[in-house]
Structure formats: structure tokens, C-alpha cells
Amino acid sequence: MPLPGLSVRLLAVAAAMAALALLPSHAETNVKSAERARLKQAAEDERAELRKRLDQLKQDILRTEKARAHAADSLSASEAAISTANRKLRELATEQERTEHRLVKLSVNQEKLEAAVRQQRERLARMLREQYAKGQDDRVHLLLSGDNPNRIARELRYLGYVSAEQTKAIDELQQDLATIASNREEAEEARRVLQDIADEQQEQKALLEKEKTTRKQLLAQLSGKLSAQRREAGSLARDEERLGALVEKLTTLIAQQRKVEEEAARKRAKIDARERDKLAEKRDDKPASRTPPRDNPAAPAAEHESSAFARLKGRLKMPVKGELLASFGARRTDGPSWKGLFIKAAEGSEVNTVAAGEVIFADWMRGFGNLIIVDHGGQYMSIYGNNQSLLRRPGDKLKTGDTIATVGTSGGNEQSGLYFELRFQGRALDPADWINR
């Protein structure tokens, strides 16, 4: 006797196989593409508040200066746009690489699934042929045969096993067909994402070329003014004061953020302690003994951060490969002494963070062009200026050696290279004491 409902199941399998041949609709792909855009926008929104605070901080610093026209300010918009376009291109390249890797994995999975489905079809076809060969009314014949009841019971059990095996085979086939359809949908979406990325890359490349042309024209117009203002001693001193004010305000901002995190940690610790006590009471046990919370539970972490970076003294790597043109403490012509290093390097060379930390500032600033500042904890910071592009944004967590920028001449600098500083509690340190050259 055939498996009850077998025809219905076979029809379901056939329907699933027919559905497998259909690709996702254009509307479905557009929904997925819109979801990618929504997720990207959500990530941008998360950064908005921090960006707003940093913009306000920068404006506060500029308001403390007397109103002065500076030729380099005319370059700020194009240099910031070049930086943004390059960062977006790098982010798109990373996303493209991830998507291509995912597409390869989906293709491999598709081949495996299709091979499994072929085997399942052959197995199911064998079962159906065997059952057909035995006849459609085996159970009725057995019941009416008048044979030994024990033998009849054994035969019926055997037929039940065969039916169960058929059911299992059909279920597995349906599941794999559904997985193939889903897998194919994912692969189509990955291809759609790759196309979106390619379109975005074209837009960013066009924008980059436009901004480079704009900057080149501005430089030609402003070259005389820029040279004169670079030689002005007062201008260099004001640049240093501006950077010092920025570092001071960032230090305050970090301290405020740390205070908020410490308070949140204390609250979480109290809640966790109450929950442990409640669980202990429910088990009729005494509350678990615990060390009383410290007045400042995050203090040990701060001490660890400070000592962790301090232990790197003399072991840091240069942030970029190049020729050292200016050292800490050296006098500038008619200006203040250098507070850091100037390392000559080819435009576009990668700039790497000297230690793990978090980006706390990444923006254009007069005197330093595209500037990025990394907080290493324990009131230690590293500063990287005159970059062509900033590849990281405030809030990004970094590992030692991560690429954070590319070398350039932003801020009206004549020489392509990187300006690099180390600071502790706002005070400039001699990088030569920290770097192993």
C-alpha cells in the first residue's frame, strides 16, 4: 500500500523544485538594497552626536582667536572632501572584498547542496521503484492471506519502516531544495551589493578627481600668500596654541566620558550583586560573599592603561617610512621649536598608529590640515598631521599598526610628509625617546 499522503508530498517537492528555478524578483532585490542603505545610515547616525560635539569643540577653539584670514583655510573644503572620498573608497573596497568572499562561499555551498539533492532524488526514485515493483496493495494481501499472525505483524512493521524512510527522504529533499532557493537568493543579493559598491566607487572617484582639480587651482592662486604666512613666526605659534587647546579640550571630553562609563559600571555592578543575592535566597543559600565595591571601580583600568602605554617606551615603530626632516626641540626659522617630528614621505604612503587606542579626532584643522588624534589611555595621545586622507573616524577602535591615514601636503604644507607628536597629560613628549629606530 502506498505511503499515505505520498502523492501530496511528491507534488510539494515538485512545486519546490519549480520555485527553485525562479530568481528573486527585482522588487525583493530593491528591498535588500534599501536595507543595506538603511544599515549604513544607522551607522552614520550613531556617529552623529560625537561628530556634533567635536565640531562644536573646534568652533570654540577658532572663536578664541582674533579674526584672521589665512590662505590655507581656502583649501579646507577641498582637502576635507579629498580625505572623505579616499576614506569612502577604502571602506567600499573593504566591503567589496567581504562581499566577494561571501559570494565564493555561497557558490561552494550551492554546489554541495545541488550534489546532495541529486543523491536524494536518486535514493527516493529507487525507493518508489521498489515499492511499485512489490505492488500497491501489499498490506491488504497480508491482512487477507490468513497467514501466521506473527509473520503478518513483522511484514507490516517492515512496510511501516519503508514508509518512514520514504517520508524522511522526502522531508530532507524538501529542506535542501528550500536551502538551495535561499542560497541562490543570497547570492543574487551579494551580486546586487557588488554592483551598488561599484556604482558608489565610480561616484567617489569622480568626486575625488573634481576635488583634486579644485585644490590644484586654489594652490596655484594662493601659493604666494601661503609661502608668506608659513614664514610668519606668529602664525606658527598660533598653530601650536590651537593644537594645544584642542588637546586640552579633548582630554576634558575623554575624562567626562570616562566618568560616565565608570558610573554605568558601578550601576551594573550593583544590579549584578542584587541579582546574585536574589538567586542565592531562592536556593535557600546565604548570599555569596563578595569584595565590597571600590569607590572608583574603573581606577585600576585607568592605571593599567597608563602603565600599558608607558611600557612601550623605546619600542614604538615609526608611524610612516620616510626621511626625518625635523626633530623634537629643533628651532624653526623665525618660529617656535618643533613639538614633534616631521617625516618626509611620498604622497599617499600609509600612516600607521603607533599603538592600540581609539580615534578621538579626525578633521581638517588650520596649520595641520587633515589631522587625526588617537587616545591610548592613561592620558597618552598620538597626533598625525598634514595627511592627504583620514581613513578612520572618531570612535574607531585601533590595534597597533592599523592604517589610519595617508601622507599628504594638506594645511598648506609645501613638503609631502607626516607631522607626528606624542603627548602625555597635554604635554608634548620627545618621540625619539619612545620610538625604536
pLDDT at residue 308, rounded to an integer? 87
What are 221-240's pLDDT values in tens digits? 777 776 666 666 567 788 88
What is the DSSP secondary-structure string of 97-147? HHHHHHHHHHHHHHHHHHHHHHHHHHHHHHHHHHHHHH-S-HHHHHHHS--
SS3 label, residue 396: coil
pLDDT at residue 413, rounded to an integer? 82
Q: 70 or 211: whose pLDDT is higher?
A: 211
**Other residues' Cβ atoms within 10 Å of the Cβ of residue 58:** 19
Rounded to whole angstroms, the Cα distance separating 187 from 177 reads 15
Q: Give the range among 159-163, 312-316, 395-399, 419-423 with minimum mean pLDDT.
A: 159-163
Rounded to whole angstroms, the Cα distance separating 385 from 218 reads 20
Which residues is 357 bridged to in the sheet?
398
Rounded to whole angstroms, the Cα distance separating 226 from 367 reads 11
Mean pLDDT of the region 199-226: 82
Given a contact cutoff of 8 angstroms between Cβ atoms, the answer to whether 405 and 79 are in contact is no
Per-residue burial over 364-386, b if 16 or more Cβ lie within 10 Å, else e, is: bbbbbbbbbbbbbbbbbbbbbbb
Task: Please choose, from the candidates 70, 372, 400, the residue with its C-alpha nearest in 3D space to the C-alpha of residue 228.
Answer: 70
**Phi, psi torsion values for 335, nearest 5 degrees:** -150, 180
pLDDT at residue 343, rounded to an integer? 96
What pTM was estimated for this model as a whole? 0.66
Q: What is the mean pLDDT of the chain?
A: 77
DSSP 8-state assignment for residue 402: -
Q: How confident is the model at residue 24 (pLDDT cuts 50, 70, 90)?
A: very low
Rounded to whole angstroms, the Cα distance separating 85 from 64 reads 31
What are 27-58's pLDDT values in tens digits? 444 555 566 666 666 666 666 666 677 777 77
pLDDT at residue 424, rounded to an integer? 94
Cell reading at 307: 602603565
Please, which contacts does 255-262 make with residues 24 or more away whose CB atoms are closer than 8 Å? 258/298, 258/302, 261/298, 262/296, 262/297, 262/298
What are 67-116's pLDDT values in tens digits? 455 667 778 888 888 999 999 999 899 889 988 988 888 888 888 888 88
Given a contact cutoff of 8 angstroms between Cβ atoms, the answer to whether 364 and 76 are in contact is yes
Mean pLDDT of the region 154-172: 66
pLDDT at residue 22, rounded to an integer? 42
**Phi, psi torsion values for 398, nearest 5 degrees:** -125, 150
Q: Give the range among 149-163, 185-199, 269-283, 421-435 with minimum mean pLDDT.
A: 149-163
Rounded to whole angstroms, the Cα distance separating 254 from 259 reads 9
Rounded to whole angstroms, the Cα distance separating 301 from 307 reads 10
Distances (CA, A) of 59 to 80, 246, 275: 16, 10, 46
* Percent over 90 (pLDDT), the chain: 27
Task: Please choose, from the candidates 175, 10, 184, 30, the residue with its C-alpha nearest in 3D space to the C-alpha of residue 103.
Answer: 184
